[in-house]
Structure 1
Amino acid sequence: MTQPLLSANGVTKRFNASRSWLAARRQVLTAVDNVSFDVMPGETLGLVGESGCGKSTLGRCITRLHDLSDGSLRFDGQEISGLTMKQLRPLRAGLQMVFQDPYASLNPRRRIGDLLAEPLRVHKLAAPAEIEARVADLLTSVELPESFARRYPHELSGGQRQRIGIARALALKPKLIVADEPVSALDVSVQAQIVNLFCDLRDRFGLTYIFIAHDLAVVRQISDRVAVMYLGGIVEIGAVDDIFSRPKHPYTATLLEAIPEPHAHGRKTRGARLPARETPSPVSPPTGCRFEPRCPRARDRCRTERPILTARDGGSLAACHFPL
């Protein structure tokens, strides 16, 4: 049986939320709370949820841009959660990230060719005489002309800059790419082009993705499985068809109801709409189910006992005492 390329076990990330280091009582914000999942080689796992649910923080934990507060990460058969930056460096080639804002992730003072050549030089993956040809190949792989190597980031459009971000991630021939909302800052027409590019690159190079996004339509197009996050934890995970056609968690059903659909007047909803209440604070979350204050199906048990991910009819796992 094929082993997972990435295994996350109880991944937790906490931040100090105190306004001052002199505060009498230290406040702790748990951005990611005991998250566990596997990603198989060649698979695309979509990660969705509201703003502030911990998606991006989880992505940065996976790539070790954030150190874990607790839990473990195993990548390509090796434990990486406890490695120092020096020890992690040989594995960086296999684990790359594409960021949400392509302009902020590119040095505006350097030409595109230099930005793409830098990882090749740092990791010594190409001789000096080969670097120019490798840069040209990277530009071609993301459907940009070789002449772009002489341009600066500000001379490109948002979609072109994101293609450069993808090309830079491809430079080291990674096995896993974490894409952190890579299309949310782009126009709708450009979004479709970038998603299609991700699909083409996956098929061409055998890539594995963790694709973080707000847009559920995009996630459905590119993903094999979907994990739904709420207030730092995964509340449902399963095959994309199961999640979109037979959601088990009330929060998942609510997210799906929010997808705009033409000719949707008078349709029946899969679950009751949420009451107009604020999302609980991650500094002081509910003691039981995190979704209980907003859940139309909540009962007494939900206020005291935190549910765990459990297999449901249809194949998905849902953390809910009273699933749909």
Structure 2
Amino acid sequence: MISALGVVIPVHGAIEPVLPLLDALLGEGVPDADRPAQVVVVDDASPHPVDAARLPEGVEFVRREVNGGFGAAVNTGIDHLTTPLALVLNSDLEIPPGFARTLVEHAAPWQPAVVGCRNADHSGRSGYAARVFPTTAHQVVEWLVPLAGLRHLDLLHRAVGHDMRAERGHGMVPVDWVSGAVMLLPVAQVRAIGGFDEGYFMYTEEVDLQKRLRGQGIPSLYDTDLTVLHVGGASSGGELRRRRWLVGARMRYARKHRSVVALRLGLTAASAVNLVWQTGRRLAGRDVDPLGAAREELSLIWTAGRDLPR
């Protein structure tokens, strides 16, 4: 048993897609040496409550009465841990045999630290789980529709904040932040800064957490020798709602750590470029709605996140 490790898996929705992950952690074929000391599943007020009887033996189950989003669910799970390390896993992951034990062993010389690893989809495409702290320039470049077809280029990857040095690195690579799909966290240090900021409902909460931990001298590292399969988007809902959560979260992060005014102005300028680009495509016969897209973008820029706690 990995005595130092507790696993936290937030869930919002059906439990069936999560069962293979739980089986990979605690199933009959898993050696004792690969089993975490605790596995906590947090039902974040799913519309149809998770049936705890469906969970494998050894899983601790907690149901939240209010859907607070990813960070709130992880905080709830960490509150139930008695271990010094917490491994946060998205519910839609597929992990290789011995994953938890290997990650803890690789991270041991660096502790206390936040540690993540590579993730990829079933086609082998990278999720670029290692990134640099976001800037206004990163998010403006990402907002520009004319550049969408060029995002396979290294220049564009770097321009939106992907850490390509880590992506092509070996061993444990220090980075600014790692994706929340897989995060090994030092529990005492996370609790000391108040855990995840629950003002983020979805997206950017792991960036904010690692930014605050960095201020306390806690590094983030990327384990390039481990890879998980990540489907992604399991609980995001429709695209417009997903974008509203994302933009709202970025506004909150900018308000806390940079300048929300600069971000709104930069994205507005990018939307003006998008309008000109889409108008040209419309004149060329493409089935696009330049004004409709511009209205949607501007609504997101100037209203998303205003209803979130400050």
The TM-score bracket by the shorter chain reads under 0.3
The alignment's TM-score, normalised by the length of structure 1, stands at 0.25
Larger helix percent: 2
Larger Rg: 1
